[in-house]
Amino acid sequence: MTSTATIQFVGDSSAKPDTLETAVVVRYDASWTGTGLDFTGSVQSRVTVASARMRQANGESLDPVPFRAVVDTVAGTVRLVGDSSATEATCPSPHAGAIAAARQYLASIPRTLAPGASWTDTTAATTCRGEIPVTTTAVRHFTVSLEHSQSAPVIVVSHLSTISLHGETSHRGRGVTLTGAGTRQYEDRYDAFTGVLKARAAIVDIDLAVGVAGAPSRLHEHVEEHAVPITP
């Protein structure tokens, strides 16, 4: 998976946007259960391009991070086993970006996809954004369609999420808060015969407010993501 993020201070046209590009490799084995899938694997994240401020802020580990996940395709949930919610004591985390990427990759779609189907679910997770533990809540609406091509038919699962963020911590005795809202658009393309994920594309737009002692700075975050299977 590749991700390109651009962060711009709102209301300051003279400020140069910060950029961060990452490459993520997720390796896993999956097995069906009575209610969904069990995943065991590892995720490795590395920064490939970063502006100066983003390089200074980045503390991600380059080592592979093992994970085990339980995907309930009936309830529409993704749970990383042993991945407890982030707290002030655990942030910043060197594995936050890698674990977040694994959680986003493991979609909670039903075992059978019928063109024309649609459903909605709600997810919540608390992860580290720098030194702040931030809870992100997403209301996700999925739709399924079928595309015919010359090679093979493709099942397309699109989903639009409305997301909200809230977090707070203290730094040198001063309260720090982070709030935000935005949208996330995904399109997953599956081989209609094998069910294998062929490609994923996503666009995320979030407006953020980061306040120290009640004085907020406003930012806009734009992220573009792409994922493809690794050819053996």
Q: Which domains, ranges and CATH numbers included, belong to the chain?
A: 2-227 (2.30.230)
Buried-state track 204-213, b at ≥16 Cβ within 10 A, e below 16: bebebebeee
pLDDT at 91: 80
What percentage of the chain reaches a pLDDT higher than 70? 89
- The C-alpha atoms of residue 208 and residue 220 are separated, in whole angstroms, by 6
Of the CA atoms within 13 Å of residue 89, those in its CB half-sphere come to 2
Of the CA atoms within 13 Å of residue 76, those in its CB half-sphere come to 12
Q: Say how many C-beta atoms besides its own lie within 10 A of residue 179's C-beta.
A: 16
Q: Which pLDDT tens digit goes with each residue over 90-125?
A: 787 777 777 777 877 777 777 778 899 998 888 888
pLDDT at 200: 93
Give the start-end residues of each E strand in 81-196: 118-129, 132-147, 154-171, 174-191
Confidence of residue 131 (pLDDT cuts 50, 70, 90): confident
Averaged pLDDT, 126-135: 85
